[in-house]
Amino acid sequence: MPVRAAGAESGRGIPKSRSETMEELEHTCPQPRLTLTAPAPFADETSCQCQAPHEKLTIAQARRGTPVDRPVRVYADGIFDLFHAGHARALMQAKTLFPNSYLLVGVCSDDLTHKFKGFTVMNETERYEALRHCRYVDEVIRDAPWTLTPEFLEKHKIDFVAHDDIPYSSAGSDDVYKHIKEAGMFVPTQRTEGISTSDIITRIVRDYDVYARRNLQRGYTAKELNVSFINEKKYRFQNQVDKMKEKVKNVEEKSKEFVYKVEEKSHDLIQKWEEKSREFIGNFLELFGPDGAWKQMFQERSGRMLQAFSPRQSPNSSPTRGRSPSRSPSPPWVINKTSPPSSPKAASASLSSMSEGDEDEK
């Protein structure tokens, strides 16, 4: 909060002498806000009135931080409709122009704005409150004049006026800040490109259908939105279509997620199957390969079987039964396979000899 004047607190009023002014009224001007725990005060509601003589400063003096007994009072004005970052950056520049500055912000009323500029989205009370809650603002002047007069500058002890340097033509003038510039009280600030109140309104007008549909969905009536009956039905139908699109989109995303999970699992299964198949093939080759265990086992068993089925040779010292070793009896049905008969006559001769042999034995 601004500090009260020393003379006002003591009840003595305004000091009479020059020495008393400099001694007793030192630091009696409103000081910049050091904390941001409360909104900025309105100029017509503050109880502090600067009683120190207001000496004219140059920009060079203000940038050096003089005078030491009071801050440099900088004034910025505007409409500030739909308060946005561009407004805040302009006020930040105005606040930081000098080392020790006190920023007063003038806001024009609805009557002046509608007369010289046009209809606003926010009313004057809303615009005043928006400025009070900006961190760079020390004081808000309501119902500020459209053109700054010497009386207004003297009343609020304004040292400099901050605004962008683009000529502002209005109220029949090519530049409403021309006389301020000629007096050496104008300090320019830079505009923030890409954002302005007109740009925001243009976006709303361009996307009117979208915002109307959104507010209908949030519960606003067609009358409140100034929407016709046909457009209301059209917007509600479009909202239903958008809901269906959103559901389809969600289903598609879920299906994609499911397919992705299946692909991951199938990849893991294929990898595990390959590992198992390699292990199976390795085990199979170890068992049934060219040098596998099964071949060695088969060779061992086949050797044992050959030994089991092969006939044993008779010993050389076995006794004979009185028969001639040169002739061994053979059964009559055994046919000599080593020398088969070359003709039928030979075959009959062999049969007759066999019969004769049998008779001799008898």
Q: Where are the beta strands (DSSP E) in the chain?
A: 72-78, 101-107, 139-142, 160-164, 186-189
Give 261-313 pLDDT, tens digit per residue. Answer: 888 888 888 888 888 888 888 777 777 777 767 777 777 777 777 777 766 65
Give 51-105 pLDDT, tens digit per residue. Answer: 556 778 888 888 888 777 789 999 999 999 999 999 999 999 999 999 989 999 9
pTM value is 0.59
What pLDDT is stored for residue 329 in this prediction? 53
pLDDT-based confidence at residue 8 (cuts at 50, 70, 90): very low
What pLDDT is stored for residue 345 in this prediction? 52
C-alpha span between 7 and 118 (Å, rounded): 45
pLDDT-based confidence at residue 7 (cuts at 50, 70, 90): very low
pLDDT-based confidence at residue 6 (cuts at 50, 70, 90): very low
Read off the amino acid at residue 161: V
What pLDDT is stored for residue 211 in this prediction? 87
Domain 59-194 belongs to what topology?
A: Rossmann fold (3.40.50)
- The average confidence (pLDDT) of the chain is 78
What pLDDT is stored for residue 250 in this prediction? 85
What pLDDT is stored for residue 17 in this prediction? 44
Give 198-212 pLDDT, tens digit per residue. Answer: 999 999 999 988 888
Domain spans, the chain: 59-194, 198-295
Whether the predicted pLDDT of 362 surpasses 50? no
Give 109-161 pLDDT, tens digit per residue. Answer: 999 999 998 999 999 999 999 999 999 999 999 999 999 999 999 999 999 99
Strand order in the sheet with 72-78: 139-142, 101-107, 72-78, 160-164, 186-189
Residue 189 near residue 94 (C-beta atoms within 8 A):
yes
